Amino acid sequence: MAKLDILRYPDPKLHTVAKPVQAIDTRIRTLVKDMIETMYDANGIGLAATQVNVHERLVVIDVSENRDEPIVLINPTITWMGDERIKGEEGCLSVPGIYDGVERATAIKVRAQDADGNSRELEAEGLLAVCVQHELDHLMGKVFVEYLSPLKRNRIKSKLLKALRDED
Ligand code: GNR
Ligand code: NI
């Protein structure tokens, strides 16, 4: 097992649009394992392949209390979105230390393959629904700070660039 490096905003690679996973082979199954390990190690509730610089439609999620119910979504698509919206505080492993409000649908349905290649539809609400939308945004090259005002986004950009400079 291997822990993967997570890209950090404003790395332009975070804006790459992911392509479909073509075959769920050994490479993809190893990637799934490594992404789950990386997500747990970073105490995140989700991780998109984009964040580990792999630009294929694959995300892992675990919103369970005991961190023992990983969900693998390969080639996910939202098939239904309810009309209700809720604004909640979001964070992102690629935007460390920054939290701000984002409006999301409260309930969605997602069709995706699992690590065995079986296609299924997942009904999500609450934190799971928020997390799925956040992860699918990553696959489209979108980071949550892009929902904030340009002023806030530029402040976040400067802060994170300075933090990077201060590291080395
Ligand atoms: O760990 C995470 N927490 C979180 C909290 C509120 C809304 C979304 C998230 S996802 C984030 C992990 C991450 O960056 N996934 O891409
Ligand atoms: Ni994120």
Model confidence over 133-147: pLDDT tens digits?
A: 999 999 999 999 999
Q: Whose CA is nearest to atom 7 of ligand 1?
A: 90
Q: Whose CA is nearest to atom 13 of ligand 1?
A: 92
Instruction: Calculate mean pLDDT across residues 111-140.
Output: 98
Task: Report helix, strand and coil shares of the chain as percent, to nearest 5.
Answer: 35, 25, 35
Instruction: Calculate mean pLDDT across residues 73-77.
Output: 98
| Catalytic residue positions, numbered | 135
**52 burial level (CB within 10 Å; 0-12, 13-18, 19+):** buried
What spatial distance separates the first Cα and last Cα of the chain, rounded to whole Å?
A: 28
Q: Is 91 in the pocket of ligand 1 (CB under 6 A)?
A: yes
Instruction: Determine if the pTM surpasses 0.95.
Output: yes
Instruction: Provide the pairing of β-strand 58-61 with 46-48.
Output: antiparallel
Instruction: Calculate mean pLDDT across residues 63-86.
Output: 98
CB 160, CB 35: distance < 8 Å: no
Model confidence over 17-68: pLDDT tens digits?
A: 999 999 999 999 999 999 999 999 999 999 999 999 999 999 999 999 999 9
Distance of alpha carbon 117 from the chain centroid: 20
